[in-house]
Amino acid sequence: MKCTVCKKEATIRLHRHKAKFCNEHFIEYVYRQVERAIKSFKMFRKDENLIVAVSGGKDSMACIEVLNEMGYRVTGVHINLGIHEFSEKSEEIVRKFSRETGIPIKVYYLKELFGKEIIEFKRPYAEKICSICGKLKRYYLNIIASELGGDAIVTGHNLDDACSILLGNLLFAQVQYLSKQYPVVEGEGELPRKVKPLIRLTDDELKQYVELRKIPFVQEKCPLSKGANTIYYKEVLNYLETKIRSVKAEFYFNYLKKLRPYFLNEEETEVKYCRVCGYKTSSRSGICYVCSIKNELEGSDDKGPY
Ligand code: AMP
Ligand code: FES
Ligand code: ZN
Ligand code: ZN
């Protein structure tokens, strides 16, 4: 097997591009895809301050490493969510990577930010824990990034993530979310914009990249995410990809170009700000989701660990 670029021995085959690469040209391919995403979606510039949300998983670890290598100004932010060994291991890996590479990564604790760890959520909250966790992460990343003077919050979402979220929203006609499916969400006031520079790369390509570059990452999935629908969506999409070359990229980028415009007017809800914390919210009560959960938890006597 020969590298498509230099004709030396290839180590990696990418079916979806009908390409084979040696290590050097695979790394170049990864950088090129990231650069293309940044430029085509006008994500950020070299002089901007990027806050990279680092979970310790392969995608966000690759993301901060690649952007740093490409000369962008990055600061990592890791939130220890308090999910037993999973969170301890994630924090350890992130700290070690930061020490060894010199890339700054700040560690925060949900217990200190919110007053509770994820594992402490009891019924009825425990049933929708992943969704609550996602909202808490988004909320605190916004606050932390504003405090750090970030111009953009960068997450490690890749093409498989984007396709599975899109598939879920289409299957259940989640019209209010369909227009938001975009690799850049503009910020407002104090809130930085949110960007996904790995959007042109797949799970598999990023796995090969971190292994090749010997970037440490947490192999395990979050133990609370078992049975999440997104896992099934990814399986279906992976199956389709084995039968129809490049179907994931076709699905996502065709959606952005041809279908998303139809949904753009659907989300015109009035922008309001939470009366407790001042954070943007679309809730009718005038209190944002995180403040209302906080109120509910404080009002209940359900305080022991789940
Ligand atoms: P997930 O929703 O777990 O698939 O994560 C999507 C993205 O959110 C990751 O690629 C990270 O950029 C960010 N993220 C997830 N968990 C954390 C965390 N604990 N701390 C900081 N960023 C996170
Ligand atoms: Fe939040 Fe799993 S990472 S519930
Ligand atoms: Zn080559
Ligand atoms: Zn609030």
Q: Are 117 and 101 in contact (CB under 8 A)?
A: no
- Please tell me if the CB atom of residue 225 comes closer than 6 angstroms to any atom of ligand 2: yes
Instruction: Quote the CA–CA distance of 82 and 222 in Å, as a whole number.
Output: 11
Out of 54, 79, 81, 140, give the residue to mutate to test ligand 2, the one with the largest number of ligand atoms within 8 Å of its CB. Answer: 81
In which residue ranges of the chain is pLDDT below 50?
A: 301-306
- One-letter amino acid for residue 193 of the chain: R
Distance from the alpha carbon of residue 26 to the mean position of ligand 3, in angstroms:
8
Say if ligand 2 is within 6 A of residue 230 CB: no
> What does R_g of the chain's alpha carbons equal in angstroms?
20
The pLDDT value recorded for residue 266 is 57
Q: How far is the CA of 6 from the centre of ligand 3 (A)?
A: 4
Q: Best of 75, 118, 137 to mutate for ligand 1, by most ligand atoms within 8 A of CB?
A: 137
Q: How many residues does this entry show for the chain?
A: 306
Average pLDDT, the chain: 92
Predicted local distance difference test score (pLDDT) of residue 157? 98
Tokens of residue 5, six digits: 């670029």
pLDDT digits (tens, 9 = 90+) for 176-199: 889 889 999 998 877 899 999 999
pLDDT at position 301 is 47
Residues 6+ apart with CB under 8 A from 243: none
Q: From the CB of residue 50, how many other CB atoms can be counted at a distance below 10 Å?
A: 26
What pLDDT does 304 receive?
38
Closest by CA position to 262, among listed 188, 198, 181: 181
Pairwise CA distance, residues 79 & 140, whole Å: 9
Ligand 2 atom 4: residue of nearest CA: 130
In the chain, where does DSSP find H-type helix?
A: 23-40, 58-69, 84-101, 110-114, 129-147, 159-171, 175-178, 203-212, 229-243, 247-254, 260-263, 289-299
Ligand 2 within 6 A of CB of 290: no
* Residue ranges of domains in the chain, CATH in brackets: 34-268 (3.40.50.620)
164 Cβ neighbours under 8 A, 6+ residues apart: 230, 233, 234, 237
| Pairwise CA distance, residues 59 & 49, whole Å | 20
154 closest CA partner among 230, 83, 58, 50: 50
The predicted-structure confidence for 238-272, as pLDDT tens digits, reads as follows 999 999 999 999 999 999 999 999 988 755 567 78
Specify the pLDDT at position 225.
Answer: 84
Spacing, Cα 201 to ligand 3 middle (Å): 19
Ligand nearest to the CA of 290: 4
Alpha helix (H) ranges present in 72-154?
A: 84-101, 110-114, 129-147
Kindly identify the ligand whose nearest atom is closest to the C-alpha of 1. Answer: 3
